[in-house]
Amino acid sequence: MKVNIGLLWHSLSSDNLGVGALTESQIAIVLAACKRAGVTQPSFTVFGTSGTRAIAPVSVPVEKGDRLSWKRLAVGQTRYWAQLRACDLVLDIGEGDSFTDIYGLERFWLQAGTKAMALISGKTLVLSPQTIGPFERSWTRAIARGLMRRAKRVYARDQLSTAFLADMQVSGNTAEAIDVAFRLPFTRHDFGASTKQRVGINVSGLLYNGGYSRDNQFGLTVDYRRLTEELVAHFVQRGGGQECEVHLVGHVLSDVIGVEDDHAASLALAEMFPGVVVAPKFATPSEAKSYIAGLDYFTGARMHACIAAFSSGVPVTPLGYSRKFTGLFNTLGYQQVADCKKLSTEAVRDLVIQGYEQREVLRPQVQRGCEAASVRLQAYEDFLVDCLQQQQKQKKQQVGHQ
């Protein structure tokens, strides 16, 4: 039986490997569900923002949906309607945290409009595990509430989003899972034998440059540039320079938007600290996770780089600057998160160093968190099995009526 799954607000070409990680992981979960549901010919149509990267290869047919823009949708210069009608099921992951109005009204309208079009087309719409909200305006809140109430299921990826849904009076069709990137496939990188501890530091180019406005756009209480420089200096010099090997790992790799580029920020730091290892510009999210999995300890401000570490068993101290960090990791019972919008530069630096020193204490906590994530994503997969079986039943009924 053929089933075409629309992946709304996913991307296999994004410069942000986090969005790619969501997409690759979602495909892996859906394929597992298809196998259990008896779907023998699954295919995917991916709708979302495009980046400069080549489409990552996957083992099943994948069509790139038409570019989504509010202007193109408004004037009808898009194939989105037609491509949407060819889908049997639509899974909308909202790029992880984009179903909100805090990123501007244009993005909100695009997020809301594409969901509304899926519903108007009569498609089964599932909001896959993601951060929900916030919605700071009463009218955006009302629109979001109406759309979510009409979805077949709305999955929060953390306890804070679940509480937010309850506050929005969206109930009856909600559930809580976890970020799908915990299912991202990887092969642990073998760096070879070494007496040194390999410490990975993900430097967010966006935070390193002060945000798009370059003036601490995100309201951090830490001096992020000083923090990263002090952390690199500490681990480079630790044990007289004999204890650690520092790896600077980028997770947003953009040749077009320099302010976002983690790799450029890493190269700038490498000039200040000769001898550090700058990770390559990874071709795929799985390649990045495989590299991170081979490290002994990790810290960073890109959430999916931290998830790559956590989900591969590497002790990690995430550097959070929004509720998605604390919401997700605390949901798994992991408290080793540094809040960069509350703590001082010195406090965050000390917490990261403490995490390294207590990495063997953190390791079993990471393991327990991964086990909890596995249970949550299995429940999400079970739900998709039911959806796919219903789709096949409907198709058979339609054939029987012809």
End-to-end CA distance of the chain: 17
**What ranges do the domains of the chain cover?**
2-183+372-401, 197-367
Q: Hey, what are 317's tokens? A: 């101290």
Q: Are both 2-183+372-401 and 197-367 of the same fold?
A: yes
CA-CA distance, 35 to 32, in Å (whole number)?
A: 5
CATH of 197-367, one of 3.40.50.720, 3.10.20.600, 1.10.3720.10, 3.40.50.2000: 3.40.50.2000
352-394: per-residue pLDDT in tens? 999 999 999 999 999 999 999 999 999 999 999 999 998 888 7
289-331: per-residue pLDDT in tens? 999 999 999 999 999 999 999 999 999 999 998 888 999 999 9
CATH code of the domain occupying 2-183+372-401: 3.40.50.11930
As a whole number, mean pLDDT of residues 342-350 equals 98
250-296: per-residue pLDDT in tens? 999 987 778 889 999 999 999 999 999 999 999 899 999 999 999 99
189-209: per-residue pLDDT in tens? 999 989 999 999 999 999 999
CA-CA distance, 38 to 61, in Å (whole number)?
A: 17
Q: What is the pLDDT of residue 103?
A: 85
CB 88 within 8 A of CB 5: yes
Give the number of other CB atoms < 10 A from CB of residue 142: 12
Q: What is the pLDDT of residue 257?
A: 77
CA-CA distance, 111 to 69, in Å (whole number)?
A: 10
- Select from 101, 105, 104 the least CA-distant residue to 145: 101
User: SS in 3 state form for the chain?
Assistant: CEEEEEEECCCCCCCEHHHHHHHHHHHHHHHHHHHHHCCCEEEEEEECCCCCCCCCCCCCCEEECCCCCHHHHHHCCCCHHHHHHCCCEEEECHHHCCCCCCCCHHHHHHHHHHHHHHHHCCCEEEEEEECCCCCCCHHHHHHHHHHHHHCCEEEECCHHHHHHHHHCCCCCCEEECCCHHHHCCCCCCCCCCCCCEEEEEECCHHHHCCCCCCCCCCCCCCCHHHHHHHHHHHHHHHHHHCCEEEEECCCECCCCCHHHCHHHHHHHHHHHCCCCEECCCCCCHHHHHHHHHCCCEEEECCHHHHHHHHHCCCCEEEEECCHHHHHHHHHCCCCCCEECCCCCHHHHHHHHHHHHHCHHHHHHHHHHHHHHHHHHHHHHHHHHHHHHHHHHHHHHHHHHHC
Q: What is the pLDDT of residue 78?
A: 80
